[in-house]
């Protein structure tokens, strides 16, 4: 129970931080935003994540199941809304 509450608080806090970041980013000029995107992209490219074979297989299994029946998932916007409704309870 405590883990669930802490996680929800973490999500709310991160959303508040992200909203502030987005507000600040929108104040940048287009060229400054492009530079920022390039910097973020370049920081990701060298990242190499070792995914265990078992996890990789599970991903492909779930992806194939979703491709076969797209109704098995929900859009991110819907999931996010549901998560935040639960944090307000």
pLDDT at residue 89 tops 70:
no
C-alpha–C-alpha distance, residues 35 and 10, integer Å? 29
pTM of the model: 0.40
Residue in 1, 3, 12, 2 with CA at minimum distance from that of residue 87: 12
34-57 tens-digit pLDDT = 999 999 888 887 667 788 999 999
| DSSP states of 5-28 | HHHHHHHHHHHHHHHHHHHHHHTS
Residue in 29, 10, 32, 3 with CA at minimum distance from that of residue 83: 10
pLDDT at residue 16 tops 60:
yes
pLDDT band of residue 67 (cuts 50, 70, 90) is very high
Return all residues near 51 (Cβ < 8 A) that are at least 6 apart.
Answer: 59
């Amino acid at each position: 129970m405590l883990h669930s509450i802490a996680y929800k608080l973490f999500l709310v806090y991160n959303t508040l931080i992200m909203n502030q970041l987005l507000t600040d980013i929108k104040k940048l000029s287009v060229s400054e935003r492009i530079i920022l995107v390039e910097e973020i992209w370049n920081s990701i490219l060298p990242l190499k994540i070792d995914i265990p074979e078992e996890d990789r297989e599970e991903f492909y299994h779930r992806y194939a199941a979703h491709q076969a029946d797209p109704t098995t998932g929900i859009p991110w916007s819907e999931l996010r809304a549901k998560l935040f409704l639960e944090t307000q309870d």
